[in-house]
């Protein structure tokens, strides 16, 4: 495989192209990388988010907080298909859009509990809020999200919790990501 793109981004892009052009709705693409040829960096297990942008605007973003698949390659493939076809905010990606898409992949480090809001930094850490079965996540270093308060408000909204939720009643976690574009 020869590519100038990072391997994670290449895999996500190739998956989206295969899915949109050849696989059909609801079907994962055939093996993109053979198991015996799997590069070392794709053999580990981790949560990952695949983000699709078109002309700078969000077009799809789906991911997993922690590993749900056998390896990072499978995690990226599954999340790339979901970002292209199952993000409820957008219609599925169409073939004529493929050339206009920018793809990024965030590989998540293990979340750690937060004891104080002073431990948060929206540029450095993503955040997870949790109350009962409700959970919301926001990746770090997002345009327009430059305060802890704004980051928490968005994560609470994603969890289906109101802006007036008592922070003492929720669990908060932070995590780092390695972003590849």
| Main-chain phi, psi angles of 171, to 5 degrees | -100, 140
What is 7-108's CATH superfamily?
Answer: Hypothetical protein ph0010; domain 1 (3.30.700.20)
Distance CA 85, CA 73 (A): 18
For residue 40, what pLDDT is reported?
A: 87
User: With b meaning 16 or more CB within 10 Å and e meaning fewer, what string describes 143-172?
Assistant: eebeebeebbbbbbeebebeeebeeeebeb
pLDDT at residue 27 in the model:
60
Whole-number pLDDT of residue 164: 85
DSSP per residue over 3-35, as a string?
A: -SS-HHHHHHHHHHHHIIIII-TT-PPSPSS-G
What residue ranges do the domains of the chain occupy? 7-108, 112-180
> What is residue 26's predicted lDDT score, i.e. its pLDDT?
55
Backbone φ and ψ of 103, nearest 5°: -120, 140
Provide the pLDDT for residue 107. Answer: 97
pLDDT in tens, the chain (181 residues): 344 679 999 999 999 998 998 876 556 666 676 666 778 889 999 999 999 999 999 999 999 999 999 999 999 999 999 999 999 999 999 999 999 999 999 999 999 999 999 999 999 999 999 999 999 999 999 999 999 999 999 999 999 998 888 989 999 999 999 999 9
pTM (2 d.p.): 0.89
CATH class of 112-180: alpha beta
What is residue 60's DSSP assignment? E
Nearest to 161 by CA among 138, 129, 139: 129
Helix (H) / strand (E) element for 128: namely strand 126-131
């Amino acid at each position: 495989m020869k590519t100038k793109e990072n391997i994670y981004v290449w895999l996500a892009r190739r998956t989206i192209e295969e899915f949109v052009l050849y696989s059909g709705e609801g079907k994962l693409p055939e093996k993109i990388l053979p198991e015996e040829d799997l590069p070392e960096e794709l053999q580990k297990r981790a949560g990952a988010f695949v983000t699709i942008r078109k002309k700078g605007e969000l077009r799809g973003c789906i991911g997993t907080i922690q590993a749900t698949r056998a390896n990072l390659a499978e995690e990226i493939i599954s999340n790339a298909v979901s970002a292209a076809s199952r993000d409820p905010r957008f219609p599925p990606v169409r073939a004529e859009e493929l050339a206009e898409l920018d793809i990024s992949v965030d590989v998540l480090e293990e979340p750690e509990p937060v004891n104080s809001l002073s431990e948060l930094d929206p540029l450095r850490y993503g955040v997870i809020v949790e109350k009962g079965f409700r959970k919301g996540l926001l990746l770090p270093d997002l345009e327009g999200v430059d305060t802890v308060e704004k980051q928490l408000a968005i994560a609470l909204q994603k969890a289906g919790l109101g802006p007036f939720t008592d922070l003492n009643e929720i669990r908060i976690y932070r995590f780092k990501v390695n972003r590849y574009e």
